[in-house]
């Protein structure tokens, strides 16, 4: 009886496996395993492609700033993170020598020569190409080979939230949109591939007045929630601005401005003291914190507060 059951089980198991194999034989699209451009993946992963297309990763090579700062791609040491071949947790990637204009594309993050398959967070049935479940994709370390400084900051913040938790929020959806195939797959958590730079929420910055003198006010500013410097960067030059406007009886009399680069950035839970100066008399200070991303000319306001001064 036991042997019979075992035999039956192995027949069922074997045939499932061979049906799966058959599906891969029938539906495999060989060119997907030869590192095509991102556009090719959009035949099925249409929504993810559209998000990626709007991401900074898709323009990492063709960005005017990058082109200029590498003197028209002549600084070789600069190139590999902007057009990588393959990525590994914590490792600086190697440069690829084709489709460079595609920047950090789908296959550079997902395809591995070692398994001839797409690596991702799930165990999937994906007959057009082989796939391998790889839990590294759910960890911050997958971003760390390129975002080296930010990763160091994140590591020393000792929090559970990963880069993906904040920068790749997920919702239940299909991984593919191609009809009728998506009907055969369960919905899963699909992570936003636009990988937005986000904007610091108001309540993540704590501002306190430390002291007021004739011609100086001292403020304490603390980044209470974001587990990396504000701003954070490796090669980019994002900036934070802290502006103080001095008022006397509702009339603006003066202002002072400080710029914060990532090197002196607001560290996670490490309050920073800043001084602002004026030679005018004042009884109200308006403080505005804003940021500018490295590739943008636009200043975006994060938070404004008014402090009444009683002397
Ligand atoms: C270890 C990987 C890595 C290397 C090597 C690298 N970069 Fe980058 N680069 C990044 C990352 C990550 C960003 C994203 C923004 C940030 O964190 O600074 C970036 C962003 C940039 C930006 C800002 C994007 C924009 O369009 O404004 C510029 C400019 C840039 N890099 C130029 C360079 C130059 C010049 C070099 C060589 C000196 C270089 N990069 C080498 C990883 C790298
Ligand atoms: C002809 C359709 C088709 C094309 C084209 C296609 N895929 Fe897929 N892919 C699938 C299917 C089907 C799945 C499994 C979907 C599911 O389980 O919901 C999948 C799953 C994946 C996964 C998840 C793997 C995992 O283990 O979590 C990744 C990553 C992936 N594809 C990357 C790519 C990349 C990169 C390209 C372009 C080179 C691409 N795919 C092109 C059909 C396609
Ligand atoms: C292969 C290297 C590489 C990997 C891996 C990588 N990035 Fe990037 N990332 C870059 C580069 C280069 C840029 C800058 C592109 C540009 O602006 O021209 C960038 C830009 C960004 C930006 C936008 C910054 C801005 O100023 O708008 C965010 C956010 C980001 N990456 C987060 C992540 C996260 C989260 C991960 C991991 C899931 C990740 N990156 C993986 C290289 C990488
Ligand atoms: C910067 C690296 C990077 C790039 C570029 C990238 N992905 Fe991903 N992708 C990831 C990471 C990381 C995850 C897993 C997120 C998680 O589980 O927290 C993921 C997950 C996926 C998944 C599984 C579903 C999901 O969202 O979790 C699919 C399918 C996928 N990617 C396809 C693509 C396609 C298609 C492209 C190009 C249009 C692409 N990816 C570009 C890093 C990348
Ligand atoms: C708790 C959520 C959270 C986590 C975790 C997180 N970030 Fe951020 N990140 C943010 C917010 C919010 C901003 C926007 C800061 C601002 O206002 O400019 C940001 C900005 C960025 C930027 C754009 C440059 C800047 O300072 O604006 C990059 C690049 C970045 N994060 C990469 C990463 C990487 C890589 C990780 C993981 C090592 C990570 N982040 C983890 C919330 C998070």
- Name the residue ranges covered by the structural domains of the chain: 32-191, 202-308
Answer whether 267 contacts ligand 4 (Cβ < 6 A).
no
pLDDT at 256 over 80: yes
Q: How many angstroms separate the CA atoms of 158 and 221, rounded? A: 21
Residue 10 has a pLDDT of 57
For 255, list phi and psi in degrees, rounded to 5: -150, 160
Q: Which atom of ligand 1 is nearest to the CA of 147?
A: 12
Atom 5 in ligand 1: residue holding the nearest Cα: 78
* CATH superfamily of domain region 202-308: Immunoglobulins (2.60.40.10)
Q: How many angstroms separate the CA atoms of 56 and 59, rounded? A: 5
pLDDT at 13 over 70: no
* Selection from 54, 98, 104 nearest residue 83 by Cα: 104
pLDDT, mean over the chain:
95
Residue 229 has a pLDDT of 98
Q: Which ligand is nearest to the CA of 196?
A: 3
pLDDT at 1 over 70: no
Question: What average pLDDT does this structure show over 155-182?
Answer: 97
Atom 36 in ligand 2: residue holding the nearest Cα: 41
pLDDT at 48 over 90: yes
* Selection from 250, 251, 258 nearest residue 287 by Cα: 258
* Selection from 43, 53, 14, 18 nearest residue 129 by Cα: 43
b (16+ CB within 10 A) / e for 214-244 = eeebebebbbebbbbbbbbbeebebbbbbbb
Residue 214 has a pLDDT of 85
Show Cβ contacts of residue 134 under 8 Å, excluding neighbours closer than 6 positions: 119, 120, 121
Residue 9 has a pLDDT of 58
pLDDT at 311 over 80: no
Helical ranges in 89-172 per DSSP H: 106-110, 141-144, 148-157, 163-167
Show Cβ contacts of residue 135 under 8 Å, excluding neighbours closer than 6 positions: 121
| Bigger pLDDT: 110 vs 309 | 110
Answer whether 15 contacts ligand 5 (Cβ < 6 A).
no
pLDDT at 14 over 70: no
Question: What average pLDDT does this structure show over 57-82?
Answer: 97
What percent of the chain stands above pLDDT 90? 90
Q: How many angstroms separate the CA atoms of 62 and 78, rounded? A: 13
Distance between Cα 160 and ligand 5 center (Å): 14
* Selection from 204, 231, 200, 228 nearest residue 294 by Cα: 231
**Band of pLDDT at residue 135, cut at 50, 70 and 90:** very high
pLDDT at 12 over 90: no
**Band of pLDDT at residue 30, cut at 50, 70 and 90:** very high
pLDDT at 133 over 90: yes
Show Cβ contacts of residue 174 under 8 Å, excluding neighbours closer than 6 positions: 47, 182, 185, 187, 188, 190
Residue 62 has a pLDDT of 98
Q: Which ligand is nearest to the CA of 82?
A: 3
């Amino acid at each position: 009886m036991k042997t019979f059951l075992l035999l039956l089980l192995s027949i069922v198991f074997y045939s499932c496996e061979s049906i799966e194999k058959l599906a891969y034989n029938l539906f495999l699209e060989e060119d997907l395993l030869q590192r095509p451009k991102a556009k090719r993946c959009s035949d099925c992963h249409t929504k993810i492609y559209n998000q990626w297309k709007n991401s900074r990763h898709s323009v990492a090579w063709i960005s005017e700033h990058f082109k200029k700062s590498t003197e028209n791609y002549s600084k070789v040491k600069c190139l590999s993170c902007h057009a990588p071949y393959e990525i590994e947790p914590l490792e600086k990637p190697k440069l690829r020598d084709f489709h460079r204009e595609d920047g950090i594309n789908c296959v550079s993050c997902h395809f591995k020569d070692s398994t001839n398959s797409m690596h991702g967070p799930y165990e999937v049935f994906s007959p057009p190409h082989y796939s391998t479940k790889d839990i590294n994709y759910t960890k911050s370390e997958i971003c760390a080979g390129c975002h080296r400084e930010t990763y160091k900051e994140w590591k020393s913040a000792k929090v559970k939230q990963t880069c993906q938790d904040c920068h790749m929020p997920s919702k239940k959806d299909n991984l593919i949109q191609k009809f009728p195939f998506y009907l055969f797959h369960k919905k899963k958590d699909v992570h936003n591939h636009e990988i937005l730079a986000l904007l610091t929420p108001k309540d993540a910055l704590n501002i306190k007045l430390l002291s007021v003198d004739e011609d100086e006010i001292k403020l304490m500013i603390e980044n209470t929630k974001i587990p990396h410097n504000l701003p954070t960067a490796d090669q980019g030059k994002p900036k934070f601005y802290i502006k103080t406007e001095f008022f006397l009886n509702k009339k603006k009399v003066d202002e002072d401005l400080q710029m914060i680069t990532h090197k002196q950035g607001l560290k996670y839970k490490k309050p920073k003291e800043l001084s602002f100066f004026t030679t005018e008399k004042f009884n109200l200070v308006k403080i505005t914190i804003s940021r500018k991303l490295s590739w943008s000319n636009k200043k975006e306001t994060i938070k404004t507060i008014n402090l009444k001064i009683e002397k």
